[in-house]
Structure formats: C-alpha cells, structure tokens
Amino acid sequence: MAAPQNYLAVIKVVGIGGGGVNAVNRMIEAGLKGVEFIAINTDAQQLIMSDADVKLDIGRELTRGLGAGAAPSVGEQAANDHAEDIEEVLRGADMVFVTAGEGGGTGTGGAPIVARIARELGALTIGVVTKPFSFEAKRRTAQAEEGIAKLRSEVDTLIVIPNDRLLSISDRAITF
C-alpha cells in the first residue's frame, strides 16, 4: 500500500485597486504565510509601493498609470484588456481570494473580471470586499452596490465588510 500523499493547496490572494492593494500590504505586514500575494492596479505609483510577490500594472494605455478616476467602467476595461496577464498570474491556484474596496474604479470594475478568470481556471474563488463609509458620497455607495452585485455572480463565496464596522473594531490609528 502506498503512503498517503500530502497535498498543499496553492492559495493566491489578489488585491485589485487601491483598497485591495492596501489590504494585501496589511496582510504581508501582519506576516501571513503560505499564500502568494498579487497586486493589480491601474495606479502605477501605488503599485510600486506594494510589497506583493507579483505586481500587475493594468490599463496603462487607458489610464497612463494614473488610476481609473473612480470610474468602474475604466477598471473593468483595464482588467478585460489584461485578461491574459491576469490568467497567467492566477494559473495553478486551487483557491483565490479577491479583495477590493468597493465604490472606486479599478477594484469595483476589475474584481469581477479577476474572479471570473479564477473560476474559469477551476479555483475556489472567494471575494472579500469593503463597502464605503456611510458618510461617503451617494455615488460611491451606489457604485459599490452595483460592483458587489456583479462580483457576487462571479465568486463561490462573497464576504462584504462595511468600512463603518472596520472602523468600530480597529485600532484608531489605521487609515483605510
């Protein structure tokens, strides 16, 4: 009888957009091990500052590296334009966590694209996103709700965390 094989799952954590990349950076700073971190953004400056294992600059032709300007359609187009690159960095994953701050451009528009690609590759796909603070603009909240609805249809499980809740349980020195 053959000895049982131990199989370690390949887990990738993808932060997309400003909020997602910030979340990945916090996980790295906290010392989370055993996962591959991937940062995806249209904002080249923020991407340079990320400590992620893999950094993917999307939408450079579209945004000139200056971000999506809080326009989810720009984030979606940037992710679609770089679908092959996203597929390449996700390949081989058994589980993919997609994290983003909903309500802006790149994360809101791009997270559903990343999630769809992960699922097409056969990975168990979990979305972990934040909702804007209650005091933020109504447009941002509306964009967040629309982005959450799109993401929900592309993931196996979705966890939505209101920023107001994070603020109430976090160290007051943390900025989001």
Q: pLDDT by residue (tens digit) across 79-125?
A: 999 999 999 999 999 999 999 999 999 999 999 999 999 999 999 99
46 in a domain, yes or no?
yes
CATH number of the domain within which 86 lies:
3.40.50.1440
Does 159 map to a domain?
Answer: yes
Region 8-36: mean pLDDT is 96
Backbone φ and ψ for 89, nearest 5 degrees, come out as -75, -20
Q: Is 145 part of any domain?
A: yes
What pTM did the predictor assign? 0.91
Q: Determine, yes or no, domain membership for 171.
A: no
Q: Is residue 3 part of a domain?
A: no
For the chain, how many structural domains are there in total? 1
Residue 5 lies in a domain: no
- CA 65 vs. chain centroid, Å, equals 18
Range of the structural domain that residue 27 is part of:
16-163
Residue 95 domain flag: yes
- 101 φ/ψ angles, rounded to the nearest 5 degrees: -95, 115
The strand ranges marked E within the chain are 11-16, 36-41, 54-57, 95-101, 124-131, 157-162
Helices (H), 49-128: 60-63, 72-81, 83-90, 106-120
State whether residue 29 is helix, strand or coil: helix
- 121 within domain boundaries: yes
